[in-house]
Amino acid sequence: MQHVSADINTLLQESAADPDFPHAPLSWTRGDAEKIAREEGLELAEDHWETIRALQNYYAQHEDETVNNLRELHDALDEHFHPKGGIKYLYTLFPGGPIAQSCRLAGLKAPFIATDLSFGSVA
């Protein structure tokens, strides 16, 4: 029997299980997000999913950075949703904080200050 080994570079280049979320973490599923949303009292609509995709894309583009910058992430989401009201609109979608709560749903680690209660987060 021939030994078959998996090349880590090949595994990393394989497409995501869900084609709607090409930049999702390997262990993340849509079901995970739905479960977390139910636990937090959210009903996910298309703009929630769009936020999750935007976050996963942002993290994929900045994966070489050791720490994600909260201000840059905030500005990226504000710009992405500018036609609908930007970050203010996202607060209506994510009452637990548009960055902290949406990162949980996206399977991503939120920047530290986003969950620092002394900073005013509601997460």
Residue 70 is predicted with a pLDDT of 83
Among all chains, which residue has been given the structure tokens 């960055």?
Answer: 99
Residue 1 is predicted with a pLDDT of 45
User: How far apart are alpha carbons 75 and 57 in whole angstroms?
Assistant: 14
Higher pLDDT, 6 or 109: 109
Tell me the per-residue pLDDT of 13-42, one tens digit each, with 9 for 90 and over: 554 468 889 999 988 999 999 999 999 999
Tell me the per-residue pLDDT of 44-88, one tens digit each, with 9 for 90 and over: 999 999 999 999 999 998 877 666 778 888 899 999 999 999 999
Residue 9 is predicted with a pLDDT of 54
- Asked if residue 113 has pLDDT above 90, the reply is no
Confidence label for 3 from pLDDT (cuts 50, 70 and 90):
low
User: How far apart are alpha carbons 62 and 43 in whole angstroms?
Assistant: 29
Instruction: Give SS3 for 94.
Output: coil
- Asked if residue 115 has pLDDT above 60, the reply is no
- Asked if residue 121 has pLDDT above 60, the reply is no
Tell me the per-residue pLDDT of 87-112, one tens digit each, with 9 for 90 and over: 999 999 999 889 999 999 999 988 87
